[in-house]
């Protein structure tokens, strides 16, 4: 039996993780749940899974939840605040932590889980890409393990030799005969749109992905292809890959989730229907595999698999992320902060879709930070960058 904490349980990834856990009651049990302020959904989860602990980042929401649970004579303990969230990520009885909080809010609890030697099922890419080498050093110095549950990185992880799986971010790919990592992406909902059309798309359109059911923020990132840029950075760090060892391909069908090309000419690919529960189950059961209750891929129904290079002119956020990663850790932290502000501003109808890139690049080019030496430096760069980005949004608002 594996004991699990889920950070971000009310989000899409968190709900999918709970769905997987519920299907295997003899293998997994939920000890703690963490959410921001969605009392209604967290209450349902508490009643379904009876966790020992829950924490909410928002104090008022935590009090409301506590009252609802007391009315139902629940024995679940309710905490609130950032310290409590990090505490539940490092409980002694916990084996696995699902890191599914969206954005920089997931950084400190994920680091808490790493420092406590947990196995982290990582969906919160921002905590990795904003900290980079600092994050990986924390991982190396602890007994913690990272298993990515983003479908692309989970696919790559599955295709790598066991020795690399056990030593992420350290092993040299060439030493294991690996020539190239091929990161695939659907292209989002707008890859067939013209550049002029992109300036008129709405938040509702951006949040409707053709293949995946995702939260609003990641849906918009998929639409701008910033998400693929962040995934590029994540892959560079997780798999210790150089720029020359990375290729990005658009694959609209979302069946081939990524590939690894070996030096002998072989290309290994991981295929499945587009369902993150498959990646979550693999991560929970690793290094074993257990029978999935998701649908299986039918090659008779799926007759077409297409691939093409990304359009960096139409989707400049992708190139911006790749370039920022090459510039250093501070640049990547600035870009992530600016993008979080820009995406939320678009969702709030403050800027148009094409202005997301403008906010990102102008915040990045107007910033000048030394490379961070500690987590506190990262948090300060993030704070200042958000202020700069909000000022830029104000100058661009309708």
Dump pLDDT digits (tens) for 34-75.
Answer: 999 999 999 999 999 999 999 999 999 999 999 999 999 999
- Return residue ranges of the chain for CATH 1.10.1740.10: 328-396
Judge whether residue 29 has pLDDT over 90: yes
Contacts (Cβ under 8 Å, ≥6 apart) of 173: 164, 179, 181, 239, 240, 241, 245
Task: Sheet containing 96-99: give its strands across.
Answer: 77-80, 53-56, 28-35, 2-7, 96-99, 119-122, 145-148
Residue 75 annotated in ligand binding: no
- Segment 93-105, tens digit of pLDDT: 999 999 999 888 9
333 assigned to a ligand binding site: no
152 is in an annotated binding site: yes
Q: Is 3 labelled as part of a ligand binding site?
A: no
- Topology of domain 2-148 in CATH is Rossmann fold (3.40.50)
**What pLDDT is recorded for position 209?**
81
272 in a known ligand binding site: no
Supply the CATH classification number for the domain 328-396: 1.10.1740.10
150 annotated among ligand-binding-site residues: yes
| Token code pair at residue 360 | 């990102």
188, two tokens:
């989002």
Query: How does strand 256-262 pair with strand 267-271?
Result: antiparallel
Q: Is 57 annotated as a binding residue?
A: no
> Is 209 annotated as a binding-site member?
yes
What is the secondary structure of 328-340 as a DSSP string? -HHHHHHHHHHHH
> Residue 240 annotated as binding?
no
- Cβ neighbours of residue 299 under 8 Å, at least 6 residues apart? none
Determine whether the annotation assigns residue 10 to a binding site.
yes
Tokens of 381: 């760069």
Q: What is the pTM of this model?
A: 0.95
Residues of each domain in the chain carrying CATH 3.40.50.720: 2-148
pLDDT-based confidence at 301, cuts 50/70/90?
confident
Q: For residue 164, what pLDDT band results from cuts at 50, 70 and 90?
A: very high
């Amino acid at each position: 039996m594996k004991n699990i904490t889920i950070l971000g349980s009310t989000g899409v990834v968190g709900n999918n993780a709970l769905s997987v856990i519920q299907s295997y009651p003899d293998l997994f049990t939920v000890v703690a749940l963490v959410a921001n302020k969605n009392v209604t959904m967290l209450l349902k989860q508490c009643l379904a899974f009876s966790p020992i602990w829950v924490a909410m980042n928002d104090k008022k929401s935590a009090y409301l939840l506590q009252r609802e649970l007391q009315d139902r004579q629940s024995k679940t303990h309710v905490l609130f605040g950032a310290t409590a969230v990090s505490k539940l990520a490092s409980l002694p009885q916990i084996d696995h932590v699902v890191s599914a909080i969206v954005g920089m809010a997931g950084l400190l609890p994920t680091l808490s889980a790493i420092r406590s030697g947990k196995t982290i099922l990582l969906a919160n890419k921002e905590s990795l890409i904003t900290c980079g080498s600092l994050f990986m050093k924390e991982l190396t110095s602890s007994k913690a393990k990272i298993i990515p549950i983003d479908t692309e990185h989970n696919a790559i992880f599955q295709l790598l030799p066991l020795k690399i799986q056990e030593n992420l971010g350290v092993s040299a790919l060439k030493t294991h005969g690996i020539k190239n990592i091929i990161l695939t992406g659907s292209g989002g909902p707008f890859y067939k749109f013209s550049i002029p059309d992109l300036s008129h798309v709405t938040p509702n359109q951006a949040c409707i992905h053709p293949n995946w059911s995702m939260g609003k923020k990641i849906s918009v990132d998929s639409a701008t292809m910033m998400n693929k840029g962040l995934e590029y950075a994540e892959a560079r760090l997780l798999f210790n890959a150089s720029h020359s060892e990375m290729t990005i391909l658009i694959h609209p069908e979302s069946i081939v989730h990524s590939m690894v090309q070996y030096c002998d000419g072989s290309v290994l690919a991981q295929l499945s229907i587009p369902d993150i529960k498959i990646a979550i189950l693999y991560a929970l059961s690793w290094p074993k595999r257990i029978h999935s209750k998701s649908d299986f891929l039918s090659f008779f129904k799926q007759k077409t698999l297409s691939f093409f290079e990304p359009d960096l002119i139409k989707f400049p956020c992708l190139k911006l992320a790749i370039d920022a990663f090459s510039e250093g850790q501070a640049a990547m932290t600035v870009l992530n902060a600016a993008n979080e502000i820009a995406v939320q501003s678009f969702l709030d109808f403050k800027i148009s879709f094409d202005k997301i890139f403008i906010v990102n690049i102008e915040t990045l080019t107007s910033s000048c930070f030394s490379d961070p030496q500690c987590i506190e430096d990262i948090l300060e760069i993030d704070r200042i960058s958000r202020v700069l980005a909000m000022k830029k949004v104000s100058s661009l608002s309708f």
